[in-house]
Structure formats: structure tokens, C-alpha cells
Structure 1
């Protein structure tokens, strides 16, 4: 062969392409398993309950104001009735929420989903219910208002297990639904109409047991909001418009406390306007739209007051643009085997490259001849590690699965290298080097914030070691000698697999 080195490089390039194709197929398997896991989560949500959002307690009352409009005179005189429908909403002055979340694992087949049982003790205080006093917009109009409704909205009413409510120390009967046109899911209690004129402080106490999945959110509807949450889950993710003012996260769980004033949030205005509750990933556009709508609503109110009496206001039954401020806690599972396996596969190309560099150095410096097929088999063993890791982690813990898969690959590659590199003296260091790579990868997978910097430093160290070990190598002379040996059949070059003393059979 005229250019053996170029032919060898072309063959190795083809081997690398085949191995990259194999890695992409394994990555596709991981994506499929992630999709099945997501389907399992959706299935559990459909059968159990989804994310929960606590909105309330709120006292509201639907009212209708009607009046007669006379037009014409004499025989042409006509009387038409006009009406205005509106809702009065009384939000608490002080709101205190004390919650505890207990995690419960739910499984469908091989996949597991974290659900939680939330026990909440909610206390709310109104200094008076003057907000429930209807105000006439027309002289001599007729006013009719429904009974005041004390409601507590939740994200998914299927998750309600038990609920008990007290009004000024007296138990009240709870019924499903909220009778609110926007926040329809939850529970309510009917209050006597005489409570509107009660100038004394109104106190409400609610004990609620709620089941949900993924996360739980709170809406700071009061003038002063104090929310505290405790759980044995050690991996919380805090999101929304407000982070906890105090939090303590450890291996035994977490405690978080939010203190939010109405001076810092527009939640009260948002609830009165009937906006939906912001999700944990709500973007700035939602809030911008909400602020634009609020300005438009204020302008419309001024225009309505200045317009003729024939203008009619109705209760809004669709959510207004924008969303109401909220904050939430998500119960993140950091040991998701598929996400960790996906991260590991991203290092697959680096594994193959470093291993091929090591084999190539042995080949040139020890005057060996390693066939491209042998490179392919070594690379295939490296790829099989990731497939073993995914399959084992579905049945065992990720740490144990990683130890078993990496040990099997290290033993296989060490045994095979002792033959293709000419003996145990070469095979054992090669196997130890592969074991070191697997150990470094496991450390990187356990890191979250510092994975990039540690990986970059480790790669730099490996490159430095290779450069130091080969600093005195004359590559032109070494390459020419290997080409001459390949061309004239010089017996000084040992083909891979030649038995040597000390190598295992």
C-alpha cells in the first residue's frame, strides 16, 4: 500500500462515523424512554390530580342593578329596563398559611412519579366587609344581591381529601364549587346576608388536605401574606414572582417562608379583574399584557361613568389578559435516570476520542499494528456502556447501575487490550485509564452548578499529561519508521494479538 498512514486514518474515520451513529441510536432510545416517563406522569395526573394552586379564602357576592329608562312622550312613551351585573369581592387583610407536604411515590410499570399530600392550615382576617356593600350607579335603581359566598379555590378539585372551615370560631358547612366565574374549582360555604353590615372583624380558619403532583402554588391575595411550607423532600425548586424570604434546605428536607405585602404585588387587582394565575414559567409578556389591560380597564371605567345611562356592565366570565402574581414550589427529582443517562451520552464522543488517542499512542510508540476492526470493537464496548446504564437504571439505583455497567466495560476492555497491545503490562494500565475516565464521568454527573468547569479542567489535565508523555517523541521519524516497516514487512513491528509472555490466554 502506497500511503498506509492515510489509509489507516481513513479507516479510523469510518469507524468513528459508525460509532457516532451507534451513539445517536442509543440517545434515541433514551429520548423514547423519557417520552414514556412523561406519558406516565400525564397518566398519573389524569388519574390522581395535577399541580395545585391555592387561591383564597375570598368572599364574593353577585349583584344585579336594574332601572327603568323612559323614552318618548305621550302615546309614544316607552319604558325599557336596563340592568348592570357585577360582582363584589372582599379580600382579606391578613392571610397566614402553614403547610406541610409529604411525598408519595406513584408508579406505572417501570416509571415512577412523585406525588404529594399537602396539609394546609389557613387563617384569614377581614377587618370588616364594607367591600360587600353594593353601591348604586343610578338614582332610584333596584338592587338585588345573592348571598355572600366564602370560597377557597384550588388548581385541581379532585385532589381535595378533607376540608373543615370555621367562621369566627363556628363550624360552617362546605360544598363543592366556588360560584366564581373564573376560579371555578374548589369549595365554598354560603354566608348569611346580614354579614355585609357586620363591622366586626371576620376570622376564617380552614384545614385542608390536598393531593397533587409536580408543584404547588400560592396567590398572595391579602394585604399581608405569610406563607410557610415544610417538607421532607430535599430537592425543592422555588419559582414564581417571589422567592422565599427565609429558607432552609438540607438532606432531611426544607422549610421556606414567604412574607409578601400588597405593596409589592398586584395580586389583589389581578384577582378582582379575573386574571388567571401565573404558572411557574410565565414570561414577562404575560405581565406586560396584564398591565396594558389594567390601563385599558381603567380608561373604560372612566368612559363608562361619563357615558349615557344605557351602558350596561356585566360580570366577566372569561379570564382577562395577563395573569395574577403567584409563587410556587416544585418537587424536582434530581436522580432521574434518563436525564443523567442523557448527560452521560453527551460525553460519549470524548470517551471514544480519548480511548482512540491512547490506543494510537501505544501503537506508534510500541511499534504495534492495531487493525481498524479492533478500534471498532473497542469503541463498540464504550458505546455499550451507555445502553447498559439506561437499561439497568430502570430496575436499580443509578449509582449501582453505573458501577455495574462501568465495571463490566472496564474488565472487558482491559482483557481485550492485554491482547491487542501485547500483554498485561499494557492491558492493565489501559484498563485503569478507562476506569479513571468512568470515575471522572460519574463525578461530573453528580455535579450541577460546577460540572462545566470541572469537566474543562479535567480535559485540560488529560491533554497536559499526553503532551508531557510525548514531549520527546520525534513524530516524523516515528511515522516514517512505521511506514517503512509496514512497506517491507520488517519483523520488528508486532501485529496486534501476538502472544507474549505474561498475557492471559
Structure 2
């Protein structure tokens, strides 16, 4: 009887699973190429959305900034220079009537604002200038209101000044404060203190899109705005003093003092930027599908890597091998998830698009796994694992403030699980090849 012999495994047999692991890592890196292309698609779609928004805004009205009224008084000696006087009190109350306009598949938020402006001017505010009243041309004084897009004005603006009515005309007497606006001459008798320190009130109807802002030019500026828009975004520089936001809309009030800004109540010429303290409201569209899609794509390497790790451990534990081409097909299915997400989220809300894209992708991989391994049990396990992964990713991209914390903790738990399962594998037995013993 001849002694039993064992055939020594070849190099490739001994390190087959190590070589497979290297191939899988290379595949993961290669699959980052289509994910980068998908990011380019997201940027392209976002640019198209911005183009659609600009096109709608150009017809309806752009973002509006309201500044004024400001009293402009020319020099008698040099009419190209002006002294500017800001109101002692400025009150703005109004309502934003919002609409959603469609440009193809894109939605643009626009509004029709109905504003009431009122306040008072005081001559004492000019005392700090040390300018003689006789050096000013009071009879050619003008009241200016800066409006960033005059196309949005939808009413004849008429002002009541000390009981007298004045109509506004387009244009401004000087570009020291703003380049676009309306003006009304207000002849003032410098000897008539009552005529100078008078009250004003006017109504302004204006259309715009996206955002409306105001300049706090009063020594005390009070603004109250209400609207049926349920998701406003307020400037953080001057947050509202009071606010109410619910499903029926919002109501907000501001009270800003002259100490909160960097320019005085009166000055000569072009010395200060009157827009340095502007504040406003943005009609925020809550469905930021492109932003969330971009955040989801950034986790592509984690989804692909974890999925491949799961399949690799199944290979090791079940001794059932997948061809590298099969890994590549599964990786492409994971990449197609993002194109599904982007295209579907343009039609419906993001969470439903995420669910639909996830179900389609997971369903495809489950069916492919069942056919590849000839096992419903393994396919079901893969489906459950992918469901947990996609659910975890959605929680991360939805939780903006806690995204880093949740992502770090999640990755730690996943790494711990991978390390645990790796201890159950008999690495020293991998690659051994049993041979037939002959006698």
C-alpha cells in the first residue's frame, strides 16, 4: 500500500480570497467614477433650476429690496451734491401673497406684497452736519424710495405728506444711495417747522420672487409682515423680535434701532452704504431635492463598500463564490439608485422618491442574489441588510445638525460588526485544497 499524499495548494489557491478582496477594493474605487458623474448631473440639474427661476423672475419680478423713504436736499451752490436725511420713525406693515409658478418641472416661489409705509422726519437730525439751512435748496427737496426691480411695482404710488398728496415718479435724483427707485418732489419751507417735521404715509404694491428685504433706515424701524407661506427663512443678522410659523403661514415683527447699524441719521454725499444692515424674508421651498441628493451621493462609497463586504463575508462563510463581473453588476445597480433618486425627486417629494428608488434597487439586488446563490435565505438577508443601510443613510442626510455625530457612531458600529464577523472565519483554513488519498 502506498503512503497517503497531500497535494500542496498553488499560490493562487492559497491566496484566492485575498486576491478576491483586492479585486473588490479596486472595483469600489472604479465605481466611484460613475458616482462622480452623477454629482455632475446633480449640478447640471441645479443649474437648470436656477435658470428656470431667473426666467420666471425676469417676467414676474426679481428679489425686491425696499429702502426708504429718504429725504434728499440739494446744495444751492452745487446741485450735484445732496444731503440725505433718514426718518425718525419708520413703520412697515404688510402682507405677502405667495404663489408657486411652474417652469417645466421646476417650481419658483413668487409673491405679491401689499405694504403700508409710514413715519416721521425731524429736522434736528441734521444738527450734526453743521450745515447752514441757507446753503440748502429746500424747495427742490425730494423724497426717495429705493426699489431694486421697478418692474414689480403694480400700483400708482401716492404719498400723503402733512395732509397733502404727492405722486411718485420713476428714477432717483442721485445714485449715492441706490441706483433704482422712485421719487417725489416735496417743497419744504425751511422756516415752517411744522411742514418739515411732518408725517408721511403711503401704500406700495410690489411683486417679486424668492426674497423680500428692507433697509432699517429709521432711528427706530418697526416691520410687521404676515403671509400664508408655511416655510419662511428669516435673516439671522436681524432675527424677528416675534414670530409665528405654522401650517397656515407666518407672522413676524422686527424692531431695529439706529444703534444696530453702521450709518447715521444724516450725511452728505456718498459716504455710507445704506444696504449694509438690510434684512428680510425668503420664501423657502422645503423640497431641496438636489441638495439632499448630493449629500446622498457622498455616502455612495460607504453603501457600495458595505454591500460588497456583506457579499464577501457570505462567500467566505458559505464557500460560494461570486465572479468579479457579478460584483460589478451589483455595484452598477447601487449607482443607478442615485439616478433614480434624482429623476423621481424632481416629480414628487424627496422622501417618497428615496423610498421608491430604494425599493427598486434593493428588489433588483435581491432577485439577482437569489439567482446567483440559488438561495432565498441569503437573498432575504441581503435585502434586510440593504434596507438597514439605506434607512441609516436617509436618517443621516435628513439630520443636518447631527449628521456628523450620527454618521460617526454608525460607522463605528458597522466596523465593530465587521470585526466581530471576521473573527468567526477560519482564515488559516482558507485556500486549503483537500486531495484524494490513494492506497
Q: Which interval holds the TM-score relative to the shorter structure?
A: 0.7 to 0.9
Q: Which moved more, 1:356-365 or 1:236-245?
A: 236-245
What aligned pairs does 1:108-119 form with structure 2 within 5 A after superposition? 108-119=103-114
Of 397, 422, 427, the residue aligned with 1:476 is: 427
**Residue 210 (structure 1) shift:** 1.4
Give the match for residue 152 of structure 1: 145
Q: Pick closer, same or farther for the CA change 1:91–1:403 going to 2, 3 Å.
A: same
Structure 1 contact 100–229 (Cα < 8 Å) conserved: yes
Give the match for residue 185 of structure 2: 190
Paired with 2:335 and 2:103, the residues of 1 have a C-alpha distance of 29
What aligned pairs does 1:157-176 form with structure 2 within 5 A after superposition? 157-162=150-155, 163-176=157-170
**Residue 375 (structure 1) shift:** 0.9
Structure 2 alignment gaps of length 5 or more: 1-9
Give the match for residue 305 of structure 1: none
**Residue 484 (structure 1) shift:** 2.1
Structure 1 contact 60–90 (Cα < 8 Å) conserved: yes
Structure 1 contact 222–268 (Cα < 8 Å) conserved: no
**Residue 368 of structure 1 aligns to a residue in which SS?**
coil
Q: Pick closer, same or farther for the CA change 1:384–1:456 going to 2, 3 Å.
A: same
Give the match for residue 83 of structure 2: 88
Give the match for residue 292 of structure 1: none
Paired with 1:177 and 1:12, the residues of 2 have a C-alpha distance of 68
Structure 1 alignment gaps of length 5 or more: 66-82, 279-323, 490-505
Q: Pick closer, same or farther for the CA change 1:459–1:272 going to 2, 3 Å.
A: farther
2:135 maps to 1:123: no
**Residue 484 of structure 1 aligns to a residue in which SS?**
coil
Q: Which moved more, 1:385-394 or 1:98-107?
A: 98-107
Give the match for residue 438 of structure 1: 390
**Residue 215 (structure 1) shift:** 2.0
Give the match for residue 298 of structure 1: none
Structure 1 contact 122–206 (Cα < 8 Å) conserved: yes
Paired with 1:143 and 1:339, the residues of 2 have a C-alpha distance of 55
Of 317, 322, 338, the residue aligned with 1:386 is: 338
Give the match for residue 51 of structure 1: 63
Structure 1 contact 217–328 (Cα < 8 Å) conserved: yes
**Residue 196 (structure 1) shift:** 6.4
**Residue 381 (structure 1) shift:** 0.8
Q: Pick closer, same or farther for the CA change 1:430–1:84 going to 2, 3 Å.
A: closer
Paired with 1:150 and 1:129, the residues of 2 have a C-alpha distance of 18
Structure 2 contact 125–266 (Cα < 8 Å) conserved: no
What aligned pairs does 1:461-500 form with structure 2 within 5 A after superposition? 461-471=413-423, 473-477=424-428, 480-481=429-430, 483-485=431-433
Give the match for residue 331 of structure 1: 283
Q: Pick closer, same or farther for the CA change 1:228–1:157 going to 2, 3 Å.
A: same
**Residue 25 (structure 1) shift:** 1.2
What aligned pairs does 1:225-244 form with structure 2 within 5 A after superposition? 225-239=221-235, 241-244=237-240
**Residue 383 (structure 1) shift:** 0.6
Of 258, 263, 269, the residue aligned with 1:262 is: 258
Of 342, 352, 355, the residue aligned with 1:403 is: 355
Paired with 2:125 and 2:24, the residues of 1 have a C-alpha distance of 83
Paired with 2:334 and 2:373, the residues of 1 have a C-alpha distance of 17
Of 378, 392, 398, the residue aligned with 1:426 is: 378
CA RMSD of aligned residues (A): 2.9
TM-score by length of 1: 0.75
**Residue 102 (structure 1) shift:** 2.6
Structure 2 contact 86–266 (Cα < 8 Å) conserved: no
What aligned pairs does 1:196-215 form with structure 2 within 5 A after superposition? 197-199=192-194, 201-215=197-211
Paired with 2:268 and 2:410, the residues of 1 have a C-alpha distance of 56
Paired with 2:163 and 2:382, the residues of 1 have a C-alpha distance of 76
**Residue 469 (structure 1) shift:** 4.4
**Residue 28 of structure 2 aligns to a residue in which SS?**
helix
Q: Deviations over 1:209-248 (max 9, x none)?
A: 1112232221111111111222333433333643323333
**Residue 390 (structure 1) shift:** 0.9
Paired with 2:66 and 2:256, the residues of 1 have a C-alpha distance of 15
**Residue 105 (structure 1) shift:** 1.9
**Residue 431 (structure 1) shift:** 0.7
Q: Pick closer, same or farther for the CA change 1:22–1:105 going to 2, 3 Å.
A: same
Structure 1 contact 57–124 (Cα < 8 Å) conserved: no
**Residue 359 (structure 1) shift:** 0.6
Paired with 2:152 and 2:217, the residues of 1 have a C-alpha distance of 22
Paired with 1:51 and 1:440, the residues of 2 have a C-alpha distance of 38
Structure 1 contact 130–196 (Cα < 8 Å) conserved: no
**Residue 134 (structure 1) shift:** 10
Structure 1 contact 130–197 (Cα < 8 Å) conserved: no
Paired with 2:266 and 2:65, the residues of 1 have a C-alpha distance of 15
Give the match for residue 178 of structure 1: 172
TM-score by length of 2: 0.86
**Residue 336 (structure 1) shift:** 2.0
Q: Comparing both chains, which one has the higher relative contact order based on Cα–Cα distances under 8 Å and sequence gaps of 6 or more?
A: 2
Between the two proteins, the alignment pairs up a number of residues equal to 419
Structure 1 contact 129–195 (Cα < 8 Å) conserved: no
